[in-house]
Amino acid sequence: MIAEKNRQIKKESFIQSRQMELHSKLQELFKKEGKATLEKVKKVILEEKIECKEIQRALKYFLSYREKGFLVRPTLISLGSKAVGGDIEEIAEIATPLVLMSGGMDIHDDIIDNQKKQNSRFTVFGKFDKDVALLVGDALLFKGLISWYKLLDKISMQKFIQITLLLEKAFFELGDGQAQEVSLKGKINVSPEHYLQIVRKKAADIEALFHIGALIGNASQSEIKALSNYGRCIGMLWILGDDVVDMFNPNELKRRIKHGCLPLPLFYAMENPKIKSRLRRILLKTRITKKDAKTILEMTIKFAGFKKTKSVMQNLVLEALETIKHFKNAEDLKLLVEDYQNFIEQM
């Protein structure tokens, strides 16, 4: 009994720190590939003359707490282009408006999810009020759109149209996934298969980033298809990785039960008739305690919630590696996948 408890404590410690380890291992790559875009994003945001001090502070705060996140999107575009031997000079120009628009959407998502903290730091919604967060999100969206159309002076019309149509499809699919996820708030009788369909839709933006990289690199149709599929797998792995991490964070698990959508391991555990009624009683309580969160975690572990989630993630890893096996410049692409392989092995 004591040995089992010690094993669980070690697992909890690993999972809680794993998110930081993932970012730490890839930090150098992200910094190298995304630095130029980060500087352009800062310049575009700070050059605006805004008289409202509260909005000024909120924008500056957003830049500070999301700085590392700004590196991800340009890096993924760059990796997609490099995989097919493409030129990466255009990437900062193309990635900057995407980062701005995505930033605005992220702030709005925090409001919808009632997410006041992320990685132990306050979100814009958590630090400022809802109205300020909405306005800052709107400002980033509009600035991103304006910056996007300025690209016509920097890239060919054909490439601009290709990428614009691609983004339209991706953002609508992403939005559909997010809307479906919102509809699951407070629902506990959700099939894992239905939830995974939503996760797949929410990974549309990551797929689009690799697709854009492939277009910049003048990839063949087969290469575009492979990189797009790879991006979808990576996007799903990131979302499911967060699901696993959130299960081991009592505060985040409590927030998701009350204000968001349950994580995949819990949906799998709910399939077991032996514990469904007990889990249901806990999940429907007016106030979820940390003790309740711990009980939910223990039951999810015991009744194969993580085991089944692990199987899904392993299949995504295998699919991602299969899609890029013919690329000569795939080392960094493999790094993203292999890092999740290590994560999955410890589940």
Helix (H, G, I), strand (E, B) or coil at 203: coil
Domain shared by 136 and 70, yes or no = yes
Domain shared by 272 and 258, yes or no = yes
Domain endpoint, select from 114, 129, 155: 155
Give the residue numbers spanning the domain of 112: 17-155
Domain shared by 137 and 211, yes or no = no
Residue 8 located in a structural domain: no
Residue 9 located in a structural domain: no
Instruction: Give Cβ neighbours of residue 208 (< 8 Å, ≥ 6 apart).
Output: 166, 167, 169, 170, 228, 231
In this predicted model, what pLDDT tens digit does every residue of 128-180 receive, in sequence order? 989 999 999 999 999 999 999 999 888 889 999 999 999 999 999 999 999 99
Domain shared by 317 and 192, yes or no = yes
Domain shared by 287 and 238, yes or no = yes
Q: How far is CA 206 from the centre of its chain?
A: 8
Domain shared by 206 and 282, yes or no = yes
Give the per-residue pLDDT at 172.
Answer: 95
Residue 6 located in a structural domain: no
What's the pTM value of the predicted model, to 2 decimals? 0.86
**pLDDT surpassing 60 at residue 102:** yes
**Whole-number percent of the chain with pLDDT over 90:** 63
**Number of folded domains that form the chain:** 2
CATH of the domain at 248: 1.10.600.10
**Whole-number percent of the chain with pLDDT over 70:** 93
Domain shared by 151 and 182, yes or no = no
Residue 1 located in a structural domain: no
Domain shared by 121 and 249, yes or no = no
Tokens for 239, please give them.
């979302």
Burial of 200 (0-12, 13-18, 19+ CB in 10 A): middle
Give the per-residue pLDDT at 16.
Answer: 54
Give the per-residue pLDDT at 298.
Answer: 96
**pLDDT surpassing 70 at residue 7:** no
Domain endpoint, select from 120, 155, 190: 155
Mean pLDDT of the chain: 89
Domain endpoint, select from 155, 179, 206: 155
Report the pLDDT averaged over residues 82-97: 86
**pLDDT surpassing 90 at residue 25:** no
Domain shared by 167 and 316, yes or no = yes
Residue 11 located in a structural domain: no
Residue 7 located in a structural domain: no
In this predicted model, what pLDDT tens digit does every residue of 112-121 receive, in sequence order? 888 888 877 8
Domain shared by 144 and 252, yes or no = no
Domain shared by 216 and 279, yes or no = yes
Instruction: Give Cβ neighbours of residue 230 (< 8 Å, ≥ 6 apart).
Output: 210, 320, 323, 324, 333
> Are the C-beta atoms of 91 and 85 separated by less than 8 Å?
no
